[in-house]
Amino acid sequence: MKAAVLEKPKAFYDKFERKGKTQQETTHYCPGCGHGNLHKIITEALSEFGVDDRSIIVSPVGCSVFAYYYFDTGNIQAAHGRAPAVATGLKRSNPESIVISYQGDGDLAAIGGDEILQAANRGENMTVIFVNNAIYGMTGGQMAPTTLVGQKTTTSPYGRKIENEGYPIRMSEIIATLEAPVYVERTALVDFKTINHTKRAIRKAIKNQIDKKGFSFVEVLAPCPTGWKITPVDSQKWIQQHMMPYFPVQAFKDVSDQRESMEIEQRDYSDQEVLDVLGLSQLGEKKQVPASFIENFPTQFMKIAGFGGQGVLSAGVVMAACAMNENLEVTWIPSYGPEMRGGTANCSVILSNSRIGSPLTTNPNVLIVMNGPSLDAFEDDVQPNGLIIVNTSIVDRRVKRDDVDVLYIPLTEIASGLGLTAAANMVCLGAYLEYTKLIDYKSLFEIVPLAIKKKHLVDTNLKAIKEGVKYIRENYSR
């Protein structure tokens, strides 16, 4: 038989210096408290597995808020109930670290009820130690979600009542119903037998994490003589007589042997890979354009409006991208907020040779209306001498104003002729640029292939642009 060597586990500090200047050999826990035993069991396991250096203990809010006094590991203290979320952040950052979330019943089952369920449900590769002593210890013995029916606490002075507080919550049973967790077991700290049981459970829960198997949860029924106002010896009996009948000590789920290890690939990415992924390497170099083009460019305050699905927003994006490609300043903003009216989709686009202030075109000098309601909504807003392009395939009236320039074009019919009604917006952009000559319409050809997601429609859209140009040449040559 192998001789047992009794020594302090390496994962405990030799002296508890963080505790303060005095009493560096003893813990801050009360006599008979379960935390001391549990800390020892955890440190033994970490040291046995040789993972102390890789380990990070997340201290909760509760008596074990000061767990970092004792563990010679990485230590972090979390907000009340949030330890599983903090542990998620730690573990996802450094998957090789061993992260232990150590929580009490108020912390885990009350204020942190969602964090623990969701971390368990995601199957985070972490170990959670849940200390259930049926009471809030640190704040002075208040009722916990695990307080037994009839149990007197400082906030249930007449005993926990079912009609007021419901029944004590069984967290292990709940978590075991989830698919992701690997291992869920409840143990107790009462005698050699239960302490050894706890040891085995915690070892397994930590080993599972080392083996990258996923989420392990050990609930430990622990004594709180001070909170319960009885002696340490009576506390052990109390667990046996009152807690264990309601909180059965057993494994609720263990698929440790069935689960595969989950390796996470970690590597560095080159700048080129980053630029490729972000779609930035395809942007190419800036175009050379004549200074006179920029200088003489008259600011275009465009409003493009129509039904949803008429490509109103994408027409704006293509126009803005085209002008940007010519080194102009541009903004694009979809109909948004209070300026949305008349049941139309619309966007504001500004093209300018200088810095653009407000991106909203309250008074456009170019209005493109793809449907009737849009003309009704925005006709009056157009600046005098502005341009209105009317989609006569759908808009059944003429523009009322006589102080604006108007192009009447059967945009939808022209697009239909190409077999793609949705390309009416591109017919319009071709017509707009051919009529105004502000930018060579061929510039659109550089943008459309990048802007259109359905690549098989690119050709038809390019044809649509040419049809728009053709319509202007045939009907509106200046």
Residue 99 Cβ vs another protein, minimum distance, rounded to whole Å? 8
- In sequence order, the β-bridge partners of residue 100 are 57, 127
Which sign, positive or negative, has the C-alpha torsion 393, 399, 402, 404?
A: negative
Binding residue (CB under 8 A) for another protein from 42, 56, 175, 382: 56
Please give the structure tokens belonging to residue 415: 């697009």
Each residue 80-109 as x (binds another protein by CB under 8 A) or -, in order, gives --x--xxxxxxxxxx-xxxx----------
278 binds another protein (CB under 8 A): yes
Contact 470, 404 (CB under 8 A): no
Residues within window 114-143 making contact with another protein, judged by CB under 8 A: 114-115, 117-118, 122
Binding residue (CB under 8 A) for another protein from 165, 173, 254, 329: 329
The SS3 assignment for 363 reads coil
Q: Which of 292, 328, 290, 325 is nearest to 444 (CA)?
A: 325
In whole angstroms, what is the distance from residue 211 CA to residue 259 CA?
Answer: 10
The smaller minimum CB distance to another protein, of residues 68 and 228, is found at: 68
Measure CA 246 to chain center: 38
384 binds another protein (CB under 8 A): no
290 binds another protein (CB under 8 A): no
209 binds another protein (CB under 8 A): no
Identify the residue whose tokens are 């038989």: 1
18 binds another protein (CB under 8 A): yes
Residue 137 Cβ vs another protein, minimum distance, rounded to whole Å? 16
299 binds another protein (CB under 8 A): no
CA distances from 444 to 52, 140, 167 (A): 62, 72, 69
Contact 145, 104 (CB under 8 A): no
Element (H, E) at 100: strand 98-104
Residue 400 Cβ vs another protein, minimum distance, rounded to whole Å? 23
17 binds another protein (CB under 8 A): no
357 binds another protein (CB under 8 A): yes
In whole angstroms, what is the distance from residue 179 CA to residue 287 CA?
Answer: 56
Binding residue (CB under 8 A) for another protein from 12, 29, 68, 183: 68
Q: Which stretch binds another protein (CB under 8 A): 52-60, 141-149, 291-299, 466-474?
A: 52-60
The count of residues interacting with another protein (CB under 8 A) is: 78
78 binds another protein (CB under 8 A): yes
52 binds another protein (CB under 8 A): yes
Q: Which stretch binds another protein (CB under 8 A): 159-167, 192-200, 320-328, 389-397?
A: 320-328
The smaller minimum CB distance to another protein, of residues 233 and 283, is found at: 283
283 binds another protein (CB under 8 A): yes
Contact 386, 369 (CB under 8 A): no
In whole angstroms, what is the distance from residue 302 CA to residue 365 CA?
Answer: 6
Q: Which of 93, 146, 83, 144 is nearest to 116 (CA)?
A: 83
Residue 189 Cβ vs another protein, minimum distance, rounded to whole Å? 26
Residue 85 Cβ vs another protein, minimum distance, rounded to whole Å? 4
Phi, psi at 304, each rounded to 5°: -115, 120
The smaller minimum CB distance to another protein, of residues 245 and 337, is found at: 337
* DSSP codes joined into one string, 395-418: --S----SSSEEEEE-HHHHHHHT
Residue 359 Cβ vs another protein, minimum distance, rounded to whole Å? 5
Residue 328 Cβ vs another protein, minimum distance, rounded to whole Å? 9
Please give the structure tokens belonging to residue 137: 């210890």
220 binds another protein (CB under 8 A): no
